[in-house]
Amino acid sequence: MKYILFTSFLGLVSFFGTSAEQPLYKECSKCSSIEQFEVAAKAESKLNKPLNVYVMNLDKGNIEKFKVSKVISGYRTIPGGGEPDGNGGKVPDRKIPIYSVSTTSYGVEQNVLNTFYALSSAKNSLKNSLAEMEADVVPTSIANSAWDLVGASSVQNSVSDHYNQYNGVLDKVVNLTNIAGQLSGIVEIDKVMIEVSFNDKSTAIFSLYAIINGKLIWDFEHGTDVDNNMIEPSLSTTRAEQYVFEKGGASVFSDFYDAATRAGVTFIGSSGSTGRVTCVNKGIGKYICTYTR
């Protein structure tokens, strides 16, 4: 029996069979040289468990197969230094294992190649449809800025719903997963991501999380405004941050101000201000943002 497990949608698709170690099919969109494919395969090695790893660049239609083995080749000693151990004795020396990882390259079986080429074609077809989505700027009736997404799940969901009008994307995602299901083993495919734009020139990255009742569910990952300020799903009130509002001006500052107030931030300054804003944690429940020119 074959089971399919989605841990993060299209991030990890697992197919379990009966053998102890299933082959792994891993996407590596940055791999081009054989050395890069080999490094990607080595990263999946398991101690004393030889593993067949297929490394795939779906964008370019390249695939390499390796058998990866990891063993302990020796030990190195870390001296205890003679420091007291707190129990009347001395800290003992420690032995740390030294691991050796080896790879053997193999030719890819024809049936795997056939499925891989179909998977590569499906991935590139999906990318073309995603590019059409990305060209569609978020309507101002939904959100004027990526700052409007911060701490506002309803706005995030509205953006997700807006892009669900592209029905062809759903079909291509389903096709991609169906083809992946033809590979016997564990299949790791990069998460599907889109970068959407807003009227104020800010952008936001969304990742595909799931399909529920025939609808794509997109998660807001992070964004960037015109001044390159990082925009997170929720405004952090634990670490010091400095924001710059020079290119964006008063309008973008106002969007940031609204996001800050949704997070319960104490703000010293005016929502019509521009320039720089410094935010500092002053203790529990005391996160203060100060406007400075």
Rounded Cα–Cα distance for residues 261 and 279 (Å):
13
231: helix, strand or coil: strand
Q: Quick check: 11 pLDDT over 60?
A: no
Q: Quick check: 288 pLDDT over 80?
A: no
Residue-level pLDDT at 63: 98
Rounded Cα–Cα distance for residues 84 and 81 (Å):
9
pLDDT tens digits for 225-254? 999 999 999 887 777 888 888 888 888 888
Query: Contact, 104 vs 164, CB < 8 A?
Result: no
pTM of this prediction?
Answer: 0.81
Query: Contact, 3 vs 17, CB < 8 A?
Result: no
Please give the backbone phi and psi of residue 265, each rounded to the nearest 5 degrees, phi first.
-80, 140
Q: Quick check: 18 pLDDT over 60?
A: no
Identify the residue with better confidence: 143 or 6: 143
Rounded Cα–Cα distance for residues 213 and 226 (Å):
36
Q: Quick check: 149 pLDDT over 90?
A: yes
Rounded Cα–Cα distance for residues 176 and 120 (Å):
9
Average pLDDT of the chain is: 86
Average pLDDT over residues 53-68: 97
Beta bridge partners, 291, equal: 277
Residue-level pLDDT at 207: 92
pLDDT tens digits for 73-104? 999 998 877 787 778 788 788 899 999 999 99
pLDDT tens digits for 199-220? 999 999 999 988 888 888 899 9
Confidence category of residue 279, pLDDT binned at 50, 70, 90: confident
Tokens linked to 89: 């004795």
Nearest Cα residue to 68 out of 97, 47, 98, 94: 47
Confidence category of residue 266, pLDDT binned at 50, 70, 90: confident
Alpha helix (H) residue ranges in 135-248: 153-163, 167-180
Residue-level pLDDT at 12: 47
